[in-house]
Amino acid sequence: MQKLTNNELGRPTLSTYHQLEKLPLILVLDNVRSALNVGSSFRTADAFRIEAIYLCGITATPPNKEILKTALGATDSVKWVYFEDTLEAVQQLKSNQYTVIAIEQTQNSTMLNKANFIAQKTAVVLGHEMDGVQQSVINSCDYCIEIPQEGTKHSLNVSVCAGILCWEYYRQNLTPQ
């Protein structure tokens, strides 16, 4: 069980990565306050080869010192677009045939373990650390997914949510080996 060296991991170079086909998953950050959470989401998006991150409203954009701290360069590999208004991002995604899903605890939300992401063009909207996804944005989404949680706290950290969502999408779409 010898640890692999960075070389042995065989990660793609930046230019190779840019040419790889991406999974049709887009993260939409709706007014995420912490640039550290934004950076960490970039790093996750890079690892799972997802299509893009849409940064909306007050969400910080690169170049940004705090994003850099947690993205560690993944802002160069992952495509990103800024929208002043999250609703505009949602409308554009819908007109491009993406299913747009808010990650929120709502009436009639679908639990993540019941969600089907197989071969779906999907955008997931993650919200502000305290306030979550705006209700007006939720109303314009196709449906809501909730990560089942049983603890004393009301929610997970937003970059951890992004990680769980990306993993679940990636896992479901892995080619059986």
Instruction: Report the C-alpha gap between 21 and 32 in whole angstroms.
Output: 28
Residues 6+ apart with CB under 8 A from 4: none
Cross-strand bridge partners of residue 146: 111
Binding region for a copy of itself (CB under 8 A) out of 53-61, 79-87, 90-98, 137-145: 137-145
Rule CB under 8 A: choose which of 46, 51, 103, 122 binds a copy of itself. 46
Instruction: Report the C-alpha gap between 5 and 166 in whole angstroms.
Output: 25
Instruction: Please provide residue 80's backbone torsions phi and psi, each rounded to the nearest 5 degrees.
Output: -140, 155
Binding region for a copy of itself (CB under 8 A) out of 24-32, 84-92, 118-126, 155-163: 155-163
Binding site for a copy of itself (CB under 8 A): 1-4, 6, 9, 11-14, 17, 20, 36, 40, 43-49, 70, 72-74, 76-77, 102, 104-109, 112-113, 132-133, 135, 138-139, 141, 143-144, 147-157, 159-164, 167-168, 170-171, 174
